[in-house]
Every structure is written in C-alpha cells, then in structure tokens.
A and B are shown apart, each in its own frame.
Chain A
Amino acid sequence: MLSVSLPTCILELNIYFLWYEVYVGVMFVLHEWSIAESIVVSSAKIAAEQGASKVVKVYVKVGELSQLELEILKSAANELKREYDVVRDAEFVFEVEEARFKCLNCGYSWGFSEVKRKINEIFCGSPDRECDNPIHYVPDLVNSFIRCPKCGSPDFEVVTGRGVYIAKIDFVK
C-alpha cells in the first residue's frame, strides 16, 4: 500500500533535486580546480624563468567555450597559490573571452550564445538547463556536437574563446 502522503512526496522530490544540483555542482567545481592548478603552477614556473622574486598579478583569459566558472577558478587559485612562495601573494584576475566560430564551408561567423541552447538541449535535456558536458573538458570536441547554424556543416573553426591562457603577469624581480 502506498503510504507516502502527497506533501511528503513533494518534499522527497525536492530533496532529490537538491542533491542532484549539489552533485552536478560538485562535478563542475572539481574540473575548475584542476584548471586553477595548471594556472598557479604555470605562474610559478614563468616567475622562476624570469627570475622574479614575487608575482603581483596574473591576468587569465577564460574561453567562453570551456564553460568554466570564474568565481570557482578564483577561489581555487587563491587556495592553491599558498603552496608556492613566489605566487603566494599574487592576485589572479579572470576574464571571459567571447567564443567566436567561423564555418569553413560557407564562411558564416557566429558566437557561443547562438549554439549554447543547442548544447544544453543535447546534454541536459532542455535548452534552458546547464549541466556537465564533454565540451567543458575538451572544448575542441565542439565539432562533434554542433553544426554551422547557417549551412549545417561540421567543418568550422573556433576563432576565439576556446580555452584558458595567461595573458599577462606582473611581477617584481
């Protein structure tokens, strides 16, 4: 016999969705941590190569296609920098670089917003819902899942906003 009352059912469903959100959230967070580690390790290495005694500021561009969360990248970098003396006091500045694509078949050019809903639909079941997807890990796989919005060709290139790079480092010798 079904013994769960309707309000309990709704409560259980809510808890289930809450856990789901937390689970998906954690999945996103962890990838940001590994990217943040590469930024911190690289900054320390560049500083050593340049003979710097202290890194002051690191400017990082984050390609929109990688769908990385800037706030998480920042807090992860601030946590990880403590392991390296030379970057311990550095400020990490993250900025999104807009993703642009160009079709190599018809020449059409478009931005990430034009295909974002399609990505959500493929991987998250709804154009309005964001979730974990392969492009988040390997942005170059975008050609496997997205087509040129004008001619439908898979033969397009990512012109800007693919992944992460360090644009500038301020340091003292």
Chain B
Amino acid sequence: MEKYDPRDAIIEEKFRKIKFSVLVGSGKGGVGKSTIASILALSLSRKFSVGLLDLDVHGPVIPEIFGLENVEPKESKKGLIPPEKYGVKVMSLGFFTEKEPIPMRGNAKTDAIKEILAITNWGPLDFLVVDLPPGTGDETLTSVKYVTNSKGAVLVTIPSKISLSVVERAIRLFRELNVSILALINNMAYYSLGGEKISILGEAHVEELARKYGIDEVVEIPIDPKVSKAIESGSLELIFQSEAYVKTGKIVEKLEKLVEKQS
C-alpha cells in the first residue's frame, strides 16, 4: 500500500457540512480580492452561517481586515475553532505567524493549505468564502482540488488592460477545472465626482471579456473611500453603507438561490 495522507478523508468529511463554497480569485494581485471576499462574507452573514478562509499563504490580510490581529483560534477535539466577528467565522495562516514572512515553496504551500483545511472545525455552514492568493499556481490548484463541496468562483479585476489579460488566464483555468464562474467583478472601476464617473485605473472592456466566456454577471464597483475607512477604523460594519456592498448584492442573491436549490 502506498502511504496515505489522513487529511484527505477528514477534509472531505468537513466539506460535507458546508453547503456552498465561493472561491474569490483573480490571477492578478492588488485588485481587491480580500476586500471583495470580506464584503461577500459580511453580506451573506446577514442571512446565513458563513466562514471566510484566507488562503493567501504569503500575504494573509483577512485578520487585519476583521480586526482580529491578536486573536488565536481556540482548540476543540474536532479541530481549531475559527474566531468569529460580525457573524463571520474566520481562518487564516495570519493567526499563526503575526508579521513574520512566510517563505514557502510549492509542496510546503500545498501542505499548509491541506493542513488548514483539515484542522479547522467550521461546523455546519451555508457558505464558505475562500480568499485565494494571486496567481494560478499551487494555492489555486490545491483549493479547487480539496474544496470538495459545491463551489463557484467570483473573479476580480480592475479596469486595466494588464489586469484583464491576467484575469483572462484565470477564467480559462477555472473553466478547465470545471468551476463555474458566478460573476466577474470590475473593482475600482471609477470614482464618482459630482455625479460624474471618472475612470482612474483604465477603461478596459470587462463586459466584452465576460461575454467572450459566457459569464452572465458583471458587477462594477467604484473606488469608495467608505470601504477603506471601514477597514482602517476597525468598524467593518460601515461597509454596509458602501456602494460596494450594494453592488455585490446581485451576487449574494445569486448565491442565495444556489443554496435554496440545494435544500
């Protein structure tokens, strides 16, 4: 018999208790994935039981966004209990490393992700929002492989030609891995000044890209100082007053229907 990794079976068992996983990815860094993942988790938590898993191995920021920097997950016989804030259960490698660098290579990254998936005791959840790191390498491939329940991806871009070119690669990868793309988010699409929309980061044709790959939901989110203020002030509930929250409502409705269909 080949050696057998006991984490595989337990990960599968844990995901049986989670109705739907939302993979928030991009391929490109710095487009606001973690912020979007946090907004989606917060929005969903108003009605559902929600977990938010930060899989950005090298740069985990979800604990900072949620103001959970100095918190440690508690232990139970069924694994680590994710700290909870604003009704969202949060897990991240950031809880274990504080500000230390995390210099991991390929196999170690895969192992670290499997370990987190195996030792986290989410309990039953309606949704698990997974914040993927940039790139289409180990972390993305491992997540898609081991997140074994029903899942879909929400991909994030900014309106620049460069970002769109990287995101197109991610779209193609997710399609090949048979993960349906629920929405494409055009983040930081414009800034509203006196009723006028000013494009700061570019005017790339996000809708066109979505059409090319049959993605039926494109959500345009403006640059909104309320979002950064909510994060920096440690009052994440201010996000509910942001336009980003209103605009992502369409995705939340879609997810709601998917889960209703399951039950």
Contact = CB atoms under 8 A, between A and B. Distances in A.
Interface in B58-80: 75-80
A168 interface: yes
A132 to B, nearest CB: 9
B119 A165 contact: no
Nearest to B121: A34
Interface residues of A, number: 37
B116 interface: yes
A42 B9 contact: yes
Contacts of A60: 6
B5 interface: yes
Interface string B66-96: 0000000001111110000000000001001
A39 B119 CA distance: 12
A154 B79 CA distance: 29
Interface string B1-34: 1011111111001000000000000000000000
B112 interface: yes
Contacts of A137: 80, 96, 115, 119
Contacts of A163: 111, 115
Interface in A95-135: 104, 134
A140 B111 contact: yes
Interface stretch (B101-109, B151-159, B180-188): B101-109
A34 B6 contact: no
Contact of B103 (A33, A37, A41, A154): A154
A31 B10 contact: no
A140 B1 contact: no
A151 interface: no
A37 B119 CA distance: 10
Nearest to B110: A140
Given A134-B97, A138-B112, A157-B108, A37 B4 contact: no
Interface stretch (A1-9, A11-19, A141-149): A141-149
14 contacts: A34-B121, A38-B6, A38-B9, A41-B9, A42-B5, A46-B1, A137-B115, A138-B112, A139-B111, A155-B103, A157-B107, A162-B111, A165-B5, A168-B1
Interface of B: 1, 3-10, 13, 75-80, 93, 96-97, 100-105, 107-109, 111-112, 115-116, 118-119, 121
Given A39-B6, A143-B104, 14 more contacts: A34-B76, A34-B77, A35-B119, A42-B6, A42-B8, A46-B4, A141-B102, A144-B103, A145-B100, A154-B101, A164-B6, A165-B4, A166-B5, A167-B3
What are the nearest 4 A-B pairs in CB distance?
A134-B96, A38-B10, A30-B75, A42-B6
